[in-house]
Amino acid sequence: EIFIAATSAMTATLLSNPLEVVKTRFQLQGELRTKGLYTVHYKNFFHAIYVIAKVDGLSALQKGLVPALWHQLFMNGIRLSGFQIAEERKWNQNSKGELSLLKTSLIAAAMGGVTAYTGSPFYLVKIQLQAQSSDSIAVGTQHAIKGTFPTLRNIYKTQGLQGLWRGCTGSLPRRCIGSATQLSCFTICKDFLANNKVYSIPRGYLNSFVASMIGGIAVTAVMCPLDTISTRLYNQGVDSKGKGILYSSYFDCVRKMYQTEGLFSFYKGVVPFYIRTGPHTVLVLVIWDALKDASKKIKKYEV
C-alpha cells in the first residue's frame, strides 16, 4: 500500500514541482510589508515563470525537487496507504454499509495529522530551497543551503532534533483540514458517481478524474490560507537558540500577516496554488486508483 501511494504521489510531483516553486515565491513576496512598499518581482503566474527562468535558468523551476519527492514518500505514502487500509476494513462506513462523511473525514484528518510530522523535515528543506534565488528576484528569508541531506545534517548539528521538526506544529492544521477535505470529497464524490452510473467507463477512471477535480477545488478553497502560513513559518530564519526570528508561533504569524499585509495576504499565490493543487490532486488520486486496481489484478493472478 505504501509503495502504491508513494509512487502515485512522487510521479505527480515530478510534473507539479515547478508550480510549487511559483506558489512559494508568491506566498513569500512582500512578507510583513505593507502593499506598495516593496518591489513586486512576480506580477502574475506566467510572469513568475518567465522571471525565474530568465534570471535563474529553467532548472530553477525544479528547485527543491529531491526533498519534495522524499516528502511525498513520507507524507502521501503513509497518508494514502493508511486511508486505503481504513477503506478496506470499512472503518469509514456506517452500520448500513454506506460511506459516512464524518468517519471518512476523521480518518483522512487523522492520517493528515500523522504525516504533518513524518514528512516535516523534508518539507522544511523543500520550502527553503524553493525560496532560494538570485538577489535581484529574492523574496522571503534566503537560506544558504545546498543539497537535501547536507542541509538536514547541518540543521541537526546546529539546532538538534527540534530544528528538524521546526514548523511542523504550524503545518498540523494544514495537513488535517486539507487531508479531510481532499479525501472525503474524492471518496464521497466517486462513490456517488459510481452508484448513480453517471459515467459508464471501465474501471471508473473518469469517476476518479471528476472526483479528484472536485477534491482539488475544495482543497484550494480551505487550504490556501493555511498553506501560506505554513510556508512563512518554515522559511523564516532562526536565532542562535533555534527560535523563529519573524514569528514566535502560529497565531503570531496570523496576527502579523493580518496587521501588516491585510486579509488578502492569506490568499497570496491562490492562482498558482490551484494551478498546482488541482492537477497534482488529479494525478495523485487517479494514478493511485489505477495502481490499486493493478495491484488487485496481480494478487488475483498470484492466487
Domain parsing of the chain, residue ranges: 2-302
Give the pLDDT band of residue 277 (cuts 50, 70, 90). confident
The residue-averaged pLDDT of 125-154 equals: 96
CA–CA separation, 86 vs 180, rounded Å?
14
Q: How far is CA 223 from CA 219, 239, 259, 264, in A?
A: 5, 29, 21, 14
pLDDT at residue 232 is higher than 80:
yes
The residue-averaged pLDDT of 268-294 equals: 87
pLDDT at residue 295 is higher than 90:
no
Class of domain 2-302: mainly alpha
What is the phi/psi pair of residue 92, to 5°?
A: -95, 15
Contact criterion met (CB below 8 Å) for 222 and 177: yes
Instruction: Write out the DSSP string of 25-68.
Output: HHHHTTTT--TTSS--S--SHHHHHHHHHHHH-GGGGGTTHHHH
pLDDT tens digits for 20-55? 999 999 999 999 999 899 999 999 999 999 999 999
90 in the Ramachandran plot: left (φ > 0), alpha (ψ -120 to 50) or beta? left
Quote the pLDDT of residue 206.
83
Q: Which three cell numbers stand for residue 7?
A: 509512487
The residue-averaged pLDDT of 8-16 equals: 93
| Higher pLDDT, residue 232 or 209 | 232
Mean pLDDT across the chain: 92
pLDDT at residue 201 is higher than 60:
no
pLDDT at residue 152 is higher than 90:
yes
Quote the pLDDT of residue 204.
60
Quote the pLDDT of residue 241.
87
Q: What is the CA radius of gyration of the chain?
A: 20
Percent of the chain with pLDDT over 70: 97
- For the CA atoms of 86, 92, 97, 99, what is the dihedral angle to 10 degrees? -130
The residue-averaged pLDDT of 53-61 equals: 97
| Higher pLDDT, residue 66 or 206 | 66
CA–CA separation, 105 vs 108, rounded Å?
5
Contact criterion met (CB below 8 Å) for 271 and 225: no
Give the pLDDT band of residue 60 (cuts 50, 70, 90). very high
| Higher pLDDT, residue 221 or 259 | 259
CA–CA separation, 83 vs 43, rounded Å?
39
Quote the pLDDT of residue 202.
54
Quote the pLDDT of residue 79.
95
pLDDT tens digits for 237-250? 999 888 999 999 99
**Count of C-beta atoms within a 10 Å radius of residue 75:** 28
The residue-averaged pLDDT of 131-142 equals: 97
Quote the pLDDT of residue 64.
97
CA–CA separation, 261 vs 254, rounded Å?
10
pLDDT at residue 186 is higher than 70:
yes
pLDDT at residue 113 is higher than 70:
yes
